[in-house]
Chain A
Amino acid sequence: MIRTYVGLIIVLALAAVVISAVPGFSVPSELPYIGQNYAEQGVHDTGSINLVTAVVVAYRGLDTLGEVVVLFSASTAIVLILTLIPIGAHPTPPSSIVSFTAGVLPGAIVLFGIYIITHGHLSPGGGFPGGAVVASAFLLVMLGSNTIPGQSKMLASIESLAGLTFGLLGFWGMMTLGQFLNNLVLPAGSPGKVLSAGIIPLISLAIGAKVASELSGVFASYRKSGGAE
């Protein structure tokens, strides 16, 4: 009970802080220097219409590589813990609604995830959200059955291959243009086409495959960790 009140006080205090900050909040009429540069030169520099992807994958590609490494070590640690300590839950038989949905929807969800991944440079999305959407389809498949997932070498291979692809694409830029992860080792093409924007689509594919396989691996190891009913 006391925990409820402490939580209530924390939530209300945070709300008070946010509300007190609202009157002073305004959108600046001019972007700061580097933001202005990205906004004006982004499409020309990278060929990507979606400037968020241009910044995340092209301008700050090294940071994204670091993020992928963080995600990799986190998922490896989770899988290791779940393998050593069986703290997963027993799968319970799904209700008929869940099992029917799990039979119908996953294909469409995977297709939507692949769309988000491959159109990251044209519309909102990219590797991380697309990969999460694909992984949620596998999660739905797992929810729709009460069996234990088997060993999968393919998941680990896809994950390693995707990480390797990201690194090698970086080194490709280093070999040919003298800059790690230079976007323009492939032509920028005409902005708006799916096959444009240099290596952004390839990196998005690599990130998407990596995120999807990592999250699916975590779900599967959680299921396995629970053991049979």
Chain B
Amino acid sequence: MSLLAAASIGTGVMMLVAAVAALVVKKLISAIIIVGFVSLSASVLFLLMDAPDVAITEASIGAAISTVIFLWGRGKIGGEE
């Protein structure tokens, strides 16, 4: 197995674990940050698969902007699960 394949599979497993963690954590703010981490891992995965254009878009929109929008939404509904 090449290094690239190992890195891709490692990132994919990390994403899966994080996606499950986002569902089971108790605090909403932790779930939002974990979802942002899933997006960031997806961006790394795109980069490993030779799609830097998609990776930039995913990192800026998926990881940064949508996380902030979720955090604003949390500020509106106020807090816990």
Whether B65 is near chain A, meaning CB under 8 Å from some CB there, is: yes
Is there an interface contact between A88 and B76, defined as CB atoms closer than 8 Å? yes
- Assign chain A's interface to a size class: 20 to 34
| Per-residue interface assignment for chain B, residues 10 to 22, with 1 indicating a CB less than 8 Å from any chain A CB and 0 otherwise | 0000001001100
A residues in contact with B28, CB < 8 Å: none
> Which residue in A12, A15, A125, A215 is a CB contact (below 8 Å) of B56?
A125
Whether A4 is near chain B, meaning CB under 8 Å from some CB there, is: yes
> Which residue in B23, B55, B65, B72 is a CB contact (below 8 Å) of A132?
B65
- Report the minimum CB–CB distance from A95 to chain B (whole Å): 13
Docked pose: A191 CA to B74 CA in angstroms: 48
Docked pose: A88 CA to B61 CA in angstroms: 20
Closest to A11 in B: B19
Whether A222 is near chain B, meaning CB under 8 Å from some CB there, is: yes
A residues in contact with B52, CB < 8 Å: 124
Is there an interface contact between B53 and A125, defined as CB atoms closer than 8 Å? yes
**Could you tell me which B residues sit within 8 Å of A by CB distance?**
16, 19-20, 23-24, 52-53, 55-57, 60-61, 64-65, 68, 72-73, 75-76
